[in-house]
């Protein structure tokens, strides 16, 4: 077998699953206060100390290996069993799930608070902490706090707050406002750290993470905590916690309701966790998913509008309307135009809950997400000046109508139910879509949707019920940037800056500042930043990049002169000085956006705007390329101008778009694979076991033709492995050496 050619058996067709659960909804974050009942004090006598709470968490965090999930759940269960009252249980849950009101405490403030802990053993604790973090001595601020507090020791009498005290401190922090707020907050946070972490330093770590609000880092979040809660006995109906939370995010209320006869039904004025869609990477993959699902061929392709998810609650008689964001925040004040549109007499409902996407529009034209996000976030006074843009609501589902929860009804029913009672208007529109049965129809629909400036399609099983909070297989998203085709171009960009990772990535660089090539005025090459990227990298690649870049990093902190960077775009980076050795990465993105942080295209566009990338991610490294072969600014600019939204604006304002630019780098597809999913049926799964990873590495190393594939570590050649084994190319004795 010659090295440059690919065995026929290895024809790989990318067609299958990339099912990725996105991160969980941060369902609880920042919910506006709606606490009507004063909180009774927990029993003072046996109230749980934060130190004890922290010990449980610490133990749970150390569990790993096979069976770890179960053991972790058991450990958390013991924590629950140490709880003495429902009130205390509320606190435990809210703390574990970081369900706090907005407290305006972030990374910087947590650092500064180290100086407010009254530490004796460390001089300039905040400085020390920052140093630890920059060197990766400590994976996150929380661990840093723990380390500082540990040094203090527990000699003498030491504060040890109970959960109630901690909660009250958090509430106090959330209330701090106006002049001097930052200082007051910092002091209070410092005090809280002392109260939580003097007796048990791990308590400092956890209170820090709780305030930061991104999870406790113990390998247990909402789902796992709920599993443990299901087994505890103090509060009845524990196994219903999750479903109840999906229909009412208020933990206090839900725990109370569990004590009665509870049912997970949609309720007016109480936000329902929205359903999400699974990503799909091609028309073929979609068709395959639909068919293997079997039963129903009753599917609908709907435009995926690029705006914000909005849940509309309305009641005709009381003339009330309430709007909730995807994360269940109350955003009623942000869309005053729509409130009126919801309470017209033209509608034939008494009350209703709609699922919709709100989009910035100009008449019939759909505007980019960026325009929508420029609208004010808070209710504007009566003296509203010209708004940034009109908005329209594209309704695509209905969860509740006239006092009845219709979550369980099939989509078909729900749809026909709404359209009967909802009256369309400029503000209230219906999501465009069509039924489809085969790949061809789907392909056509996809093309249409993209030309209409949407992100792609959402495909829905018309026979499926509404599943709150679930990334259900009954909804598939097919976005243009997922597609392996010329529809989405990739960019080859140079890593010009690096930044140390956090948490589990603290031993390597966690993200990279990327730049593209541009001709400097003097004819020299200048590079312009286009995005930072930190996803799409495997641990292997991260380690390699660390080894590769470490020697190239300058210690000066001065932006190198080959680089054209804005001041905002150059904050927090360590610079690569040995530029010509800098690694090149092939990346992709969902959109090209206007940027004030990055410098790409400065000088090529009107209003001295520059271009950045939305949702950038690494496809692969390009060790075969040097910076001089990176994509150019001009190419990026023409990609920008090629976007449907930009074109449509140009059409309406000017005559025509710019002339077509030189061709982009295209991703390679191995010959014979295109559209031949049935030909061999060889492919594709995730290569996540070590032997499979090794195999992939080998294949990539030996047949460069494979490299240009959209190779994420989890969507590669499983069957290729089998085939090679069967063909005798791989043997048991020498699994990888037979090439």
Partner DNA sequence: GTTTAGCGTGAAC
Partner DNA sequence: ATCCGACACATTCGG
Partner DNA sequence: CCGAATGTGTCGGATGTTCACGCTAAAC
Binding mask 688-707 for DNA (x = CB under 7 A): xx-xx---------------
Query: Of the candidates 38, 66, 523, 655, which one interacts with DNA according to CB under 7 A?
Result: 66
Contact partner at residue 302 from DNA, ligand AMP, none, CB < 5 to 8 Å by partner kind? ligand AMP
What is the rounded distance in angstroms from the CA atom of residue 273 to the CA atom of residue 311?
Answer: 9
Stretch that binds DNA, among 83-91, 325-333, 410-418, 516-524 (CB under 7 A): 325-333
Minimum CB separation of residue 712 from ligand AMP in Å reads 17
Q: Six-digit token pair at 269?
A: 């004025």
Q: Which is nearer to DNA, 349 or 569 (CB)?
A: 569
Considering the rule CB under 7 A, would residue 596 count as an interface residue with DNA? yes
Binding mask 264-283 for DNA (x = CB under 7 A): ---------------x----
Query: Of the candidates 302, 474, 586, 591, which one interacts with ligand AMP according to CB under 6 A?
Result: 302
Query: Of the candidates 105, 286, 483, 636, which one interacts with DNA according to CB under 7 A?
Result: 105
Considering the rule CB under 7 A, would residue 585 count as an interface residue with DNA? no
Query: Of the candidates 348, 722, 727, 731, which one interacts with DNA according to CB under 7 A?
Result: 722
What is the rounded distance in angstroms from the CA atom of residue 150 to the CA atom of residue 148?
Answer: 5
Considering the rule CB under 6 A, would residue 309 count as an interface residue with ligand AMP? yes
Considering the rule CB under 6 A, would residue 415 count as an interface residue with ligand AMP? no
Query: Of the candidates 113, 188, 235, 276, which one interacts with ligand AMP according to CB under 6 A?
Result: 276
What is the rounded distance in angstroms from the CA atom of residue 341 to the CA atom of residue 194?
Answer: 52
Considering the rule CB under 6 A, would residue 418 count as an interface residue with ligand AMP? no
Query: Of the candidates 93, 220, 458, 730, which one interacts with ligand AMP according to CB under 6 A?
Result: 458
Contact positions with DNA (CB under 7 A) in 444-483: 471, 473, 479, 482
The continuous run of DSSP H or E covering 257 comes out as helix 251-258
CA distances to 692, 726, 729 from 737, rounded to whole Å, are 14, 15, 9
Considering the rule CB under 7 A, would residue 213 count as an interface residue with DNA? yes
DSSP, res 298 = -
Q: Closest Cα partner for 343 from 371, 319, 374? A: 319
Q: Which is nearer to DNA, 108 or 444 (CB)?
A: 108
Minimum CB separation of residue 317 from DNA in Å reads 28
* Backbone φ and ψ of 593, nearest 5°: -125, 165
Considering the rule CB under 7 A, would residue 685 count as an interface residue with DNA? yes
What is the rounded distance in angstroms from the CA atom of residue 453 to the CA atom of residue 362?
Answer: 13
Contact positions with ligand AMP (CB under 6 A) in 546-565: none
Binding mask 349-378 for ligand AMP (x = CB under 6 A): --------x---------------------
CB-based contacts of 729, cutoff 8 Å, min separation 6: 1, 7, 738, 739
Minimum CB separation of residue 72 from DNA in Å reads 8
Q: Closest Cα partner for 88 from 171, 170, 162, 191? A: 162
Considering the rule CB under 6 A, would residue 206 count as an interface residue with ligand AMP? no
Q: Which is nearer to ligand AMP, 302 or 315 (CB)?
A: 302
| Number of shown-chain residues binding DNA (CB under 7 A) | 122
Considering the rule CB under 6 A, would residue 305 count as an interface residue with ligand AMP? yes
CA dihedral 447, 448, 453, 454 (to 10 degrees): -80
| Secondary structure class of 203 (helix, strand, coil) | helix
Minimum CB separation of residue 421 from DNA in Å reads 25
Minimum CB separation of residue 216 from ligand AMP in Å reads 25
What is the rounded distance in angstroms from the CA atom of residue 374 to the CA atom of residue 211?
Answer: 28
The residue number with the shortest CB distance to ligand AMP is 309
Minimum CB separation of residue 586 from ligand AMP in Å reads 22
Q: Which is nearer to ligand AMP, 330 or 554 (CB)?
A: 330
Stretch that binds DNA, among 263-271, 366-374, 407-415, 652-660 (CB under 7 A): 366-374
Q: Six-digit token pair at 566?
A: 């804005």
Beta strands at 525-533 and 563-564: parallel, antiparallel or unpaired: parallel
What is the rounded distance in angstroms from the CA atom of residue 59 to the CA atom of residue 153?
Answer: 20
Contact partner at residue 431 from ligand AMP, DNA, none, CB < 5 to 8 Å by partner kind? ligand AMP
Stretch that binds ligand AMP, among 116-124, 303-311, 529-537, 653-661 (CB under 6 A): 303-311
Query: Of the candidates 199, 304, 500, 598, which one interacts with ligand AMP according to CB under 6 A?
Result: 304
Contact partner at residue 598 from DNA, ligand AMP, none, CB < 5 to 8 Å by partner kind? DNA
Q: Which is nearer to DNA, 47 or 103 (CB)?
A: 103
Query: Of the candidates 5, 20, 121, 507, which one interacts with DNA according to CB under 7 A?
Result: 20
Contact partner at residue 448 from ligand AMP, DNA, none, CB < 5 to 8 Å by partner kind? none
End-to-end Cα distance, the chain:
8
Q: Six-digit token pair at 422?
A: 């909802």
Contact positions with DNA (CB under 7 A) in 538-567: 538-540, 567
What is the rounded distance in angstroms from the CA atom of residue 81 to the CA atom of residue 86?
Answer: 12
Considering the rule CB under 6 A, would residue 422 count as an interface residue with ligand AMP? no
Query: Is 304 known to be catalytic?
Result: yes
The continuous run of DSSP H or E covering 398 comes out as strand 390-401
CA distances to 225, 718, 726 from 248, rounded to whole Å, are 17, 42, 54
Q: Closest Cα partner for 482 from 712, 717, 737? A: 712
Minimum CB separation of residue 274 from ligand AMP in Å reads 6
Q: Are 709 and 14 in contact (CB under 8 A)?
A: yes
Contact positions with ligand AMP (CB under 6 A) in 430-449: 431
Beta-carbon count within 10 A of 543 CB: 14
What is the rounded distance in angstroms from the CA atom of residue 129 to the CA atom of residue 590?
Answer: 37
Considering the rule CB under 6 A, would residue 326 count as an interface residue with ligand AMP? yes
Considering the rule CB under 7 A, would residue 224 count as an interface residue with DNA? yes
> Which candidate in 304, 316, 460, 477 is catalytic?
304
What is the rounded distance in angstroms from the CA atom of residue 199 to the CA atom of residue 50?
Answer: 9
Q: Which is nearer to ligand AMP, 85 or 330 (CB)?
A: 330
Contact partner at residue 109 from ligand AMP, DNA, none, CB < 5 to 8 Å by partner kind? DNA
| Secondary structure class of 204 (helix, strand, coil) | helix
Considering the rule CB under 7 A, would residue 643 count as an interface residue with DNA? no
Minimum CB separation of residue 207 from ligand AMP in Å reads 31
Q: Are 246 and 468 in contact (CB under 8 A)?
A: yes
Q: Closest Cα partner for 251 from 81, 57, 32, 28? A: 28
Residue with tokens 């909005």: 310
Beta-carbon count within 10 A of 573 CB: 21
Contact partner at residue 373 from DNA, ligand AMP, none, CB < 5 to 8 Å by partner kind? DNA
As beta bridge partners, residue 278 has 476
Stretch that binds DNA, among 249-257, 433-441, 586-594, 622-630 (CB under 7 A): 586-594
Stretch that binds ligand AMP, among 27-35, 120-128, 258-266, 269-277 (CB under 6 A): 269-277
CA distances to 42, 244, 292 from 257, rounded to whole Å, are 19, 9, 39
Contact positions with ligand AMP (CB under 6 A) in 474-493: 477
Q: Which is nearer to DNA, 348 or 691 (CB)?
A: 691
Considering the rule CB under 6 A, would residue 399 count as an interface residue with ligand AMP? no
Q: Are 308 and 357 in contact (CB under 8 A)?
A: yes
As a three-state string, the secondary structure of 515-561 is EEEEECCCCCEEEEEEEEECCCCCHHHHHHHHHHHHHHECCCCCCCC
As beta bridge partners, residue 315 has 320, 351
Considering the rule CB under 7 A, would residue 504 count as an interface residue with DNA? yes
CA dihedral 58, 61, 67, 73 (to 10 degrees): 70
DSSP 560-595: PTTEE--TGGGTT-EEB-SGGG--EEEEE-SEEEEE
Mind telling me the catalytic residues?
Answer: 304
Residues that bind ligand AMP (CB under 6 A): 274, 276-277, 302-305, 309, 326, 357, 396, 431, 458, 477
């Amino acid at each position: 077998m010659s090295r440059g050619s690919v065995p026929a058996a290895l024809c790989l067709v990318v067609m299958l699953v990339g099912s990725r659960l996105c991160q969980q909804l941060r369902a609880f974050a920042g919910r506006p206060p709606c606490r009507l009942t004063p909180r009774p004090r927990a029993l003072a006598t046996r109230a749980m100390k934060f130190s004890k709470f922290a010990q449980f968490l610490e133990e749970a965090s150390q569990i790993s290996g096979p069976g770890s999930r179960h053991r972790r759940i058991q450990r958390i269960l013991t924590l629950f069993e140490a709880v003495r009252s429902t009130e205390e249980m509320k606190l435990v849950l809210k703390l574990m799930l970081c369900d706090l009101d907005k407290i305006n405490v972030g990374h910087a403030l947590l650092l500064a608070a180290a100086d407010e802990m009254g530490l004796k053993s460390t001089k300039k604790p905040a400085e020390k902490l920052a140093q630890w973090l920059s060197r990766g001595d400590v994976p996150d601020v929380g661990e840093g706090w723990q380390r500082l507090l540990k040094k203090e020791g527990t000699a003498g009498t030491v504060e040890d707050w109970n959960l109630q005290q901690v909660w009250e401190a958090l509430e106090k922090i959330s209330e701090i406002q106006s002049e001097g707020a930052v200082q007051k907050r910092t002091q209070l946070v410092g005090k809280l750290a002392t109260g939580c972490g003097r007796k048990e330093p791990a308590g400092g770590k956890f209170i820090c993470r709780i305030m930061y609000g991104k999870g406790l880092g113990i390998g247990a979040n909402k789902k796992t905590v709920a599993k443990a809660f299901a087994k505890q006995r103090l509060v009845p109906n524990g196994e219903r916690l999750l479903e109840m939370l999906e229909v009412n995010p208020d933990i206090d209320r839900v725990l109370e309701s569990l004590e009665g006869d509870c049912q997970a039904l949609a309720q007016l004025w109480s936000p329902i966790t929205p359903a999400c869609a699974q990503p799909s990477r091609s028309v073929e993959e979609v068709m395959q998913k639909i068919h293997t699902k079997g039963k129903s061929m009753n599917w609908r392709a709907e435009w995926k509008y690029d705006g914000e998810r909005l849940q509309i609650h309305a009641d005709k008689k009381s003339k009330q309307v309430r709007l909730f964001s995807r994360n269940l925040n109350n955003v009623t004040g942000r869309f005053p135009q729509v409130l009126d549109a919801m309470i017209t007499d033209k509608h034939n409902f008494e009350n209703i809950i709609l699922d919709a996407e709100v989009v910035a529009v100009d008449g019939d034209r759909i505007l980019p997400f960026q325009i929508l996000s420029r609208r004010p976030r808070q209710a504007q006074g009566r003296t509203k000046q010209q708004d940034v843009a009109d908005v329209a609501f594209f309704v695509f589902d209905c969860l509740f109508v006239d006092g009845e929860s219709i979550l369980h009804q099939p989509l078909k029913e729900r749809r026909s139910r709404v359209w009967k009672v909802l009256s369309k208007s400029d503000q209230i529109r219906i999501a465009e879509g069509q039924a489809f049965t085969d790949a061809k129809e789907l392909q056509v629909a996809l093309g249409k949707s993209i030309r209409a400036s949407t992100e792609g399609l959402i495909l829905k099983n018309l026979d499926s019920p509404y599943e709150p909070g679930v990334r259900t297989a009954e909804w598939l998203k097919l976005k243009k940037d997922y597609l392996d085709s010329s529809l989405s171009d990739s960019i080859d960009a140079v890593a010009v800056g690096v930044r140390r990772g956090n948490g589990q990535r603290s031993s390597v660089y966690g993200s990279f500042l990327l730049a593209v090539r541009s001709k400097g005025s003097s004819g020299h090459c200048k590079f312009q930043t286009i995005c930072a990227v930190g996803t799409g990298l495997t641990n292997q690649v991260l380690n390699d990049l660390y080894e590769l870049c470490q020697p190239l990093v300058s210690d000066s902190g001065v932006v190198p002169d080959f680089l054209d960077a804005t001041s905002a775009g150059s904050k927090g980076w360590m610079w690569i000085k040995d530029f010509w050795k800098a690694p090149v990465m092939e990346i992709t993105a969902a959109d090209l956006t206007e940027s004030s942080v990055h410098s790409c295209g400065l000088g090529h566009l009107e209003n001295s705007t520059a271009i950045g990338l939305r949702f950038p991610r690494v496809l692969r490294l390009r060790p075969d390329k040097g910076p001089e072969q990176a994509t150019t600014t001009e190419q990026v600019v023409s990609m920008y101008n090629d976007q449907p939204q930009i074109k449509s604006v140009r059409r309406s304002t000017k005559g025509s778009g710019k002339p077509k630019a030189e061709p982009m780098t295209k991703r390679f597809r191995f010959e014979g694979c295109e559209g031949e999913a049935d030909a061999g049926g060889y492919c594709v799964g995730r290569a996540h076991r070590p032997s499979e990873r090794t195999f992939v590495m080998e294949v990539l190393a030996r047949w460069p033709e494979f490299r240009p594939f959209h190779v994420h570590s989890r969507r590669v050649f499983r069957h290729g492995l089998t085939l090679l084994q069967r063909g005798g190319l791989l043997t048991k004795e020498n699994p990888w050496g037979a090439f």
